[in-house]
Chain A
């Protein structure tokens, strides 16, 4: 199962310290296997929420540093793509993966897949036994939809205000964190539903 999906910055943000990352969208699919980890469960919902949010922050920071290192080592400098060049931006995106150990930050072991598109990263954290090839395809598909539907290459703030669009995508492409084996026809069916959602 997928644990969470994030869209966050990998560029310097004025209000944050250099290593920090601003999370622009996060979807936490909830429920961790506390029985296995033996981690004491927090009963206070407020504290539980805080802890979950902080865990997402940890992931975003780690991915940010991984993206930066990967770019540094490849010596790559990206050319800023503009609206309409989503396919180019996605084509040039860096991708990578890092393993998150027990309690770092999630109770169980997990794997964070990331896709660095210019100043942003798309991150999918899943359980280690998941099919990473499938997860990678799903992440790329989600990133493509997000870039297009939220106009992420533009200067607007749709990603914050129109987050329901991402929810609609996840509802179909990654329902409750379940990775799906979608052939092109299944995908087209979903795309059709999505575009009718977006056009409303």
Chain B
């Protein structure tokens, strides 16, 4: 597919020598002078020239005479399209700019103008550069003579211009264009373009009676022309109709946003018009074949241009929605119907945002459309704009919208999680409306288990969106369940994968299953077993509220064992830490005491209950460690509240081996925050029991036996354990002798054979020094209490700024004391 030859061509084009290039330019100039006999050669050279100018990101400057010739070629009416394309492409890519030269002499010819415009549009840097082109186009649009042909691409070019610089059109010009657009939109011919029939060799060509347009299902068009009308050939105004509708949303978004901000006066005007109205005389349609849209159409000729366009656009969209109900004969048309539905509802939404009186006219149509589309998931993407419409306007019209959101939030993610485009649009719909959804749509927050399915399935593709979305899903009542759900996200990915696979391959087809690898087969088997059914149902649940988590999570992990290496699961596991950080940062802002307690318990419980994916536990525990600290700092009484669980956790030596980092942090927070200064409930008994727990662990892991294996934990853990012991001892001074005794053994431990091999000299030194310092400190209990228990305000900025009040000051004083008194202390 991508051949080495292609790569070498790029290289050649980039590395061509200056001398050779100049010769090449000269040759092309000469070719362009001569006549058409060498057309093939000219095309070939121009193609090569285009490759040379476009293959590098640095611009190439062409000789002025060549540029001039290319510009002439572009303007020339007689020249074949290929020449125009190539010269336009070369001019776009090269220097000097052709923008100004071309702008002074814009062509009247439709095709040439379009290719010239493409150069102007690509080289323009500001509004002034675009003015000549814009004025040139407006001349066609402003002309009132019917014989003036509007160049085909006028509207796409104009669309590009005003989406870059809306202010380029004056108010009057906007009105002129609006009037023109309304006419094209609503009054294009309903008959097919006159096709020339050859009429056979002997008869002279004659013009056939123009046939009427048909609908996409083959029936004769029942009303005015739209893009969903089919005919053998199209007239100019029908082409313009298509271009107009294609740019309509963009136009309304740009120019229909300020206009009539007082909808009431517009409404007043409209009723006046209707009262004096008669059927719009320009409509070519026989009233007997009128669809609902024309029949209910009011005369709008007296309305100001912008409002008239709004009216016509509304009618057009209404008709498109009606037309989309027809069964299309061609697949392309069926797809176009869906795109038209999306566009029509979006345009109606824009119009209703501008003028609320349209809401009452739109709702019957939108409601019927919803009723028609909602059972069929193939129309899911068309339902999103409908949901948007309900979100924006159901309150105005006092329409119940619950069913719509129920459908959107329960069915879509559960059944269409593997549709990348829908997932993207769905998530962006949520992001776009996040505050409204949070406030007004109850089911939104409640359906986070469902919403996470999109993310679990395509985690790298959607992570940046969910980073933004996650805080909005958090509510105090479901916070714990959400935390479990985030931790179980890789399980969800695995379960979705199994669900997807098992729906793809029938149960009996073992051969296909076995191709998946035996590990996955085992998981697939489990997925189908009734005994696991409840577990899978839980993990794939659509809504929150069935319980924060389940008891048999480890059983589920075992059942999913075969999926741990699946790329989807591994990728999903990689994003969990990111989401957890966001979760904790958000939840700590809203959490009350009760929730904080629950969070702490979840941390302790889930630190050892995670899906066994490579690195997953380590990464998650790292996040847990950080936030354990945050939680305790935020609310130190947590330690006393949860002392049973914490005590059990830190007293279990095996915790060290599976989750050292988290364990270290747990020990640290106990040493730091278990103090009567944080919580009056902190009794001597409590301190003693924690002290004993930590003491036992430290004792156990520093036992040196000849047979014992070297320690498999870091020196940091040792120093943290020692310090925590000393801190607790300083708060209950009866414990000091015990602490000192244990600390004094550290020296011999660190110097012993197996340990010395495992720890570096520096580490050993660090351990011994720390033990020594702590022993010395504990010799002066009052000082130790002072140093080892920083006051609650110890970390306020003042301590860092104020040199007279900082900890350094204290430390200096203490080291002075120790130094002076060291002679009096027993050795």
Contact = CB atoms under 8 A, between A and B. Distances in A.
Interface of A: 1, 9, 11, 13-15, 22, 24, 26, 28-35, 41-43, 45-46, 48-50, 53-54, 57, 66, 69-70, 72-73, 75, 80, 95-99, 101, 111, 118-120, 127-129, 131-134, 136-137, 152-153, 155-157, 159-164, 167-168, 171, 175-187, 189, 197, 200
B677 interface: no
B673 to A, nearest CB: 40
A73 B339 contact: no
A133 B153 contact: no
A136 B85 CA distance: 25
B7 A45 contact: no
A32 B723 CA distance: 60
| Among A15, A75, A157, residue most surrounded by chain B Cβ atoms (within 10 Å) | A157
A73 B89 contact: no
B48 A176 contact: no
B686 interface: no
Given A136-B421, A159-B6, A181-B343, A30 B156 contact: no
Contacts of A22: 2, 7, 10
**Majority-rule SS of A interface residues:** mixed
12 contacts: A11-B2, A30-B124, A31-B164, A49-B93, A50-B58, A98-B424, A120-B2, A156-B5, A157-B5, A168-B81, A176-B153, A178-B246
A116 to B, nearest CB: 11
A193 B81 CA distance: 11
Contact of A181 (B13, B216, B232, B246): B246
A187 B125 CA distance: 33
A25 to B, nearest CB: 9
Given A13-B7, A164-B85, A185-B230, A45 B59 contact: yes
Interface stretch (B303-311, B329-337, B580-588): B329-337
A53 B57 contact: yes
Given A11-B2, A73-B571, A185-B234, A177 B156 contact: yes
B273 to A, nearest CB: 30
A183 B227 contact: yes
B160 A176 contact: yes
B125 A48 contact: yes
A45 to B, nearest CB: 5
B246 A189 contact: no
Nearest to B120: A30
B242 interface: yes
A178 B420 CA distance: 24
Contacts of A181: 227, 242, 245-246, 336, 339-340, 343
Nearest to A50: B57
The list of the 8 closest CB pairs from A to B, nearest first, reads: A178-B156, A30-B122, A53-B57, A134-B339, A175-B156, A31-B164, A155-B3, A119-B1
Nearest to A113: B421
Contacts of A101: 464
A159 B51 CA distance: 10
A183 B346 CA distance: 20
Contacts of A1: 159-160, 163, 250
Interface in B24-81: 47-48, 50-51, 54-55, 57-59, 80-81
Contact of B461 (A50, A70, A128, A131): A70
